[in-house]
Each structure stands twice: as structure tokens, then as C-alpha cells.
Amino acid sequence: MSDKGIHLVREHLAKLPPPNTLTIEQRRAQYERAERVFPTPPDVKVETIAAPARPAEWLTPPGVRTDAVVLYLHGGGYVIGSPRSHRHLAAAIARSAGTRALLLDYRLAPEHPFPAALEDSVAAYQWLLGQGIAPERVVVAGDSAGGGLTVATLLALRDRGLPRPAGGVCISPWVDLTNSAASYVTRAAADPIVTRDAIEGLTQAYIGAGDRKAPLVSPLYADLRHLPPLLVQVGGDEVLLDDARGLEQRAKAAGVDVTLEEWPSMIHVWHWFLPMLDEAERAIEVIGRFVRRVHGAA
């Protein structure tokens, strides 16, 4: 069943037009069709709010605790993606964790390059604290660029002397915007989603001629000391495999409580294909257990 599921996902992806043939507007529209393809379960309450910096959505599955939050940062290379494309994934994580999720609609490049997304995520965290949510009841989580933004947010909070969240979850994180890892070559034929050419275009949109190794751009090169516990999940068939491995190595060397899970045969952010993949459901269950543990509710 699992082999069949990933095969069907790959067949679906093969029918999509190559990213480099689409405009940014077309790619954004394509991504947001997930709202129809993967609808959010009707028992999840969706409430749009205007947080201080950017709009966001409260996602509340039935029976979850209201004093704990997953602050979710969607993927899309800092250029595409929104709550509409990732609502189903964030809601599933919230349900598994037994908490609410705050799904942030942060600003996108190239209209709003670095550090706009980071400033929005930091502001959202501060807004949560202002709502009376204790820092030890907040986990920051994200996929792909959102996984890198998760680490950058934790670093920015630390460097600004703000209270430390309970933990961070990084799904297929993009943490090295030099895009130079060996897995870009070794996994190129296996990865149906991410290519070096496409990711180079996203990098240009986000950072332009800026320093690709700046710690808050590429957290792989940051001093990771004093970060909260991290859970990192990555697929064995994705070109960002070495980003995740490098993050785990650097975090461990800095004394961070970090867990890396490599899921064989899985592709970039396989969690997004939750209705089609048993592995997506199981990975989200792991995330839920991690969140409950760091929230002290395991």
C-alpha cells in the first residue's frame, strides 16, 4: 500500500508543468489549488485573524487544549504558498499534537525579500505571548522554506532576548541557500519536486545579491547554541537531504536536543500528500508526539 501510494503521488507530480515554465503568479495559483484537492476536515474550526504584522488563521480541531499552540510557517521557497495551500497539513499537525495551530500568512518574495518573512514570524510569536500563551506552550514548525524559517525564527528570538519556545519542527528544511549540498546531485533523479535550477530562482527572489551564508538566511551556518529541542524529518529521495543532515550535525555539536528522521523513499514534504500516503499520517503522528512531549503533555 505504501509503495502504491508514493507511486501515485509521483504520477500526479509528473503531470504538472515544470516550475520554470510558469510565472510566479501561476505557481502561486497552482499551489493554492491544494485547498480544493486536500480540503480541511469540516470539524476543524478555521478563524482568520489580523495579527499585528500579518493575517493568520487559527486552526482548532475538536477537543484540543487552548493554552498551547503550534505556530506553523508554510513552505514554498519564500515565494509561493499561503494558509490556503497548507491549511490541511497544519490542521493535521494540530490534531495530532492536541493543540491549536496558528498558520501565518507571512510576506513573500520577490515583493518582500529577506528579512520580511522572518520579521513576520517573530512578530507572530510575540503576538502569541501577548495573548497570554506561555512560551513553553509554543512550538514553531514549518516545511521546506518554512522549516528553514523555523530555525531562523528560533535564532532571532534567542538573539533578541525573547523567551524561548518549547521546540521546533523542521519538515524537509531548506537551511542552506548556497544550494551546494552533494544531495542536489545524488538525489536529482529521485526528487520529483525540487531542482537546483528552480531553487536558485527562489534564492534570487528571496536574498538577491545578499549574503547566502548569513545566519538568518541559511541557519546551517549559524551558531545554534541554546535553541530548544528540534525534530527534523526528511525524505530519503529529496535533494534537501543533506540540508537536514547538516542541520542535525550542527545542532548536535552545539548541544541542542535534536532528532533527525530520514524516511526511506519519501519525497520533499511528503506530509503535504496526507490523504494519499500512509507515511504522511505516520510522520504527522511523530510530530504530534514531539509537540506533546515538549509541551509537557506527553
Could you give the angle at the alpha carbon of 81 between the alpha carbons of 76 and 84, nearest 5°? 150
Catalytic residues: 144, 238, 268
- Give residue 180's identity as a one-letter amino acid code: S
What's the CA gap between 11 and 16, in Å, rounded? 9
From the centroid of its chain, how far is CA 16?
22
For residue 289, what are the contacts with CB-CB under 8 A and spacing of at least 6?
A: 96, 298
For the chain, where are the E strands, in sequence order?
Answer: 45-50, 55-60, 65-73, 99-104, 138-143, 167-171, 230-235, 258-263
CB 228 within 8 A of CB 166: yes
Structure-block grid coordinates of residue 8: 501515485
Q: At 294, phi and psi to the nearest 5? A: -75, -25
Structure-block grid coordinates of residue 277: 500516503
Give the CA distances from residue 55 to residues 124, 171, 232, in Å, rounded to whole numbers and listed in that order.
Answer: 9, 23, 27
Structure-block grid coordinates of residue 138: 509554543
- Give residue 239's identity as a one-letter amino acid code: V
- Give residue 173's identity as a one-letter amino acid code: P
What's the CA gap between 180 and 185, in Å, rounded? 9
